Amino acid sequence: MQSVAHLVKVSVPGYLSELPIPDTFGGWFRLGFKDWLALVPPTALAAGVGYTVYRAYCPKARVACSGRTNKIVQLSNPKVVDTIDVEDISEKAAFCRCWKSKNWPYCDGSHANHNKETGDNIGPVIVKKNK
């Protein structure tokens, strides 16, 4: 525990106080290569912490990277497969591609909410009969 206290109270503040941060805007242009190199680790740490906070608290970031696409349709099956005869389609049919439809495999418009939440552009597959 003493090593952690030393790190927090002595080492990190000492390291940060020795960083070459200029007092003026023009001072940034006078930094040398070694000065810029010394600024890389704290900048990378700040970027990593910022990205982690963004991923944790931004709802759109969590939705976009949720992993699984299908969250409601036949989850107990290892693979979801549906067969529909073209002869059974009257004039046209819209099939879901967003996996959000309550009327699977047909589209019920659920992709509109999905697109609004995620910024995606998913729409249905429309199958028409030739006349």
Q: Is 129 known to be catalytic?
A: no
Pick the catalytic residue: 79, 92, 116, 131? 79
Closest CA to 79 of 89, 70, 87: 70
Helix%, strand%, coil% for the chain, nearest 5: 50, 5, 45
Q: Look up tokens 């040398």; give the residue.
A: 32
Token readout for 70 is 């299908």
Residues 6+ apart with CB under 8 A from 64: 118, 119
C-beta atoms surrounding 100 within 10 Å: 21
Q: Which residues are catalytic?
A: 79
